[in-house]
Amino acid sequence: MECVPHYFVDNKSIFDDYDVRKFEKDALELLEKFFINQKLVIMTGGSGMYIDAICQGLDEIPEVDPQIRSSLNAFYQEYGLEKLQQKLLELDPEYYQEVDLKNPHRLIRACEVSIGTGRPFSQYRIKKISPRPFHIIKVGLERDREELYQRIDHRMDLMIADGLFEEAEKLYAHRHLNALQTVGYSEIFGFMEGKYNREEAIRLLKRNSRRYAKRQLTWFRKDKTIKWFHPDQYDQVLNYIQSQISS
């Protein structure tokens, strides 16, 4: 990060109301400025929905009363993921069949729209593609599953050694916020609430991080425009990108 300028990193507070639609607007405005003087911009990350927002746009979904989301967050905190899943099944059985049921953000979003508009969330998902004024080259990086999982476990050990538990403890009073409903915080919050011991919290941190990586791969596997490489295939990646630019 010291060598290359980065954007949308450490730019928001956990108290800021921010979502994928706001990211789409901010990122497209930034790209418009970049392409005045630059030919190539790299977007990198693992959130499929945020990447899709830039590459193909988002469905038009009505805004709803933010109090509905607050109530659903409180419901999730009190009753847990399984009850939230059940609520979505009642509100929108169609979306229930395709959503990542382990992702409370997606569940809450679907529930709040269904409640706030009186129509199932799935009815707004028409997947209309918005044309973009730039060419998109997609590169996916993948490792052997065992190698990937070992690296995830090692990375979690490093994060814990660097103070992940201490960080979560400082944020515990704000655990109801959307920004903290994520892998890495929720497992530690459960430990702090006495639901299990530290060793179990670490096991859950690693397990849920591996599961999240698996869901990311499943999401991106559906996109047939992605060209896959191992991260060590540096020259092959550059050659592929250059061939795409040339063509």
Give the gyration radius of the chain's Cα atoms: 20
Q: Report the share of the chain in percent with pLDDT over 90.
A: 73
Torsion, Cα of 58, 61, 62, 68 (10° steps): -110
pLDDT at 162 over 90: yes
Mean pLDDT of 158-168: 97
Domains defined for the chain, CATH in brackets:
1-59+132-136 (no CATH), 66-124 (1.10.20.140)
Q: Which residue has the tokens 């299990």?
A: 196
pTM above 0.75, yes or no: yes
Beta bridge partners of 140: 228
pLDDT at 46 over 80: no
pLDDT-derived band at 159, boundaries 50, 70, 90: very high
Structure tokens at 78: 């009190």
Residue 148 contacts residue 209 (beta carbons within 8 Å)? no
Residue 192 contacts residue 172 (beta carbons within 8 Å)? yes
Question: Which tops the pLDDT comparison, 198 or 104?
Answer: 198
What pLDDT score does 169 carry? 96
pLDDT-derived band at 103, boundaries 50, 70, 90: confident
For 77, 82, 96, 159, 161, the CA distances from 70, given in Å and listed in that order, are 11, 18, 21, 30, 33
What pLDDT score does 232 carry? 96
The residues, any chain, with a CB within 8 Å of residue 8's CB and separated by 6 or more, are 23, 26, 27
pLDDT-derived band at 176, boundaries 50, 70, 90: confident
User: Cα(199)–Cα(109) distance, rounded to whole angstroms?
Assistant: 32
Residue 185 contacts residue 171 (beta carbons within 8 Å)? yes
Residue 111 contacts residue 218 (beta carbons within 8 Å)? no
pLDDT at 91 over 90: yes
> What does pLDDT average to over the chain?
93
